[in-house]
Amino acid sequence: MGMDKFTRAANIDGKEYAAELLERIRADVETLKATTGAVPGLAVVLVGDDPASAIYVASKQRQTVAAGMKSFEYRLAAETSQDELLELVHRLNEDPEVYGILVQLPLPVHLDPNAVIQAINPDKDVDGFHVSNAGRLATGNPALVPCTPLGCMMLIKATLGENLSGLHAVIVGKSNIVGKPMAQMLMNAHCTITVVHSQTRNAAELCRAADILVVAAGRAGLVRGDWIKPGAVVIDVGINRIQDGEKSRIVGDVAYGEAGHARAITPVPGGVGPMTIACLLSNTLTAFRRHHAMVATA
């Protein structure tokens, strides 16, 4: 894609897209409440008192209520046992008012996150972390997909249009939460996929081949300007708190100031982060729709 040197990369405003998505969700919730006589509800479970987690959970709750959904919040003590947590998950699985369940990660170290995630009813697994949802996504079946890569996909399509067929997407990072599901989604959209990670020998060279570059490495400024092909679309998933003199601030995994030759790039903050929360509500609405469609056709 030809870009003259006077063109600046467009800023992909995730905050604005998230606000638009939340407004569409709110309108859909209003209609569905009238047609089903039910209200979508999201349960968020927070174990312990990690301050960053508490901030995210408060923000999730505020936006859930703003969308017209019910919010059920469970704050459990840090010393909660595995059995107590599993018991709560089982109770939420059975609760007809709860359509979505999110257990905030990370959990205190004495708890096994995998066992907790696999205990969630996959049809209520709005994080999309259950093996059943990972398998559905991998096989192109209807799934609840992880919120962060879902939000990335929406921002990519808002920038490039619906048809991504044949584009080369490079994903940096291979986590179950972002890298792997992102690769699956882009493959389902008929992209050619390269996954780069900490053991990759020629990461810069591989990234330079990307039409779409999604970076979820968790390392501040890892991706430099010369890793980016002119005209590429760059999605920065990183959220890194760095010390800047007296103050601390949040930066992404991409050296944003070196990416002027990209076609478009997400800022941090204000890019992928706000889309993650909007997609959590989108997934709750999806779970609600699927439940009521099943009931209607049964």
60 is catalytic: yes
CB-nearer residue toward ligand GUE: 82 or 163: 82
102 binds ligand GUE, rule: CB under 6 A: yes
Q: Which stretch binds ligand GUE (CB under 6 A): 131-139, 154-162, 270-278, 290-298?
A: 270-278
Choice from 269, 290, 291, 292 touching ligand GUE (CB under 6 A): 269
Q: How far is CA 50 from CA 44, 45, 78, 108, 242, in A?
A: 15, 13, 9, 9, 18
Q: Which stretch binds ligand GUE (CB under 6 A): 28-36, 156-164, 192-200, 262-270?
A: 262-270
**Binding residues among 105-124 for ligand GUE as defined by CB under 6 A:** 105
175 labelled ligand-binding = yes
Choice from 63, 71, 276, 283 touching ligand GUE (CB under 6 A): 276
Choice from 40, 122, 149, 273 touching ligand GUE (CB under 6 A): 273
Selected catalytic residue, list 63, 123, 125, 127: 127
132 labelled ligand-binding = no
Choice from 42, 134, 254, 277 touching ligand GUE (CB under 6 A): 277
| Residues contacting ligand GUE: total by CB under 6 A | 16
147 binds ligand GUE, rule: CB under 6 A: yes
127 binds ligand GUE, rule: CB under 6 A: yes
Selected catalytic residue, list 63, 104, 123, 125: 104
Residues 54-73: x where in contact with ligand GUE by CB under 6 A, - otherwise, as a string: --x-----------------
Q: Are 128 and 283 in contact (CB under 8 A)?
A: yes
Q: Which residue is nearest to ligand GUE (CB)?
A: 273
- Spell out the residues 6+ positions from residue 203 whose beta carbon is closer than 8 angstroms to its own: 172, 196, 227
174 labelled ligand-binding = yes
**DSSP string across the chain:** ----TTPPPEE--HHHHHHHHHHHHHHHHHHHHHHHS---EEEEEEES--HHHHHHHHHHHHHHHHTT-EEEEEEE-TT--HHHHHHHHHHHHH-TT--EEEE-SSPPTTS-HHHHHHHS-GGGBTT--SHHHHHHHHTT------HHHHHHHHHHHHHH-S--TT-EEEEE---TTTHHHHHHHHHHTT-EEEEE-TT-TTHHHHHTT-SEEEE----TT-B-GGGS-TT-EEEE---EEEEETTEEEEE-SB-GGG-TTSSEE--SSSSHHHHHHHHHHHHHHHHHHHHHHHHHH-
**Binding residues among 220-259 for ligand GUE as defined by CB under 6 A:** 239, 250
Q: Which residue has the tokens 């810069």?
A: 204
124 is catalytic: no
CB-nearer residue toward ligand GUE: 194 or 276: 276
239 labelled ligand-binding = yes
Which residues are at the interface with ligand GUE (CB under 6 A)? 56, 102-105, 127, 147, 239, 250, 268-270, 273-274, 276-277
Catalytic residues: 60, 104, 127
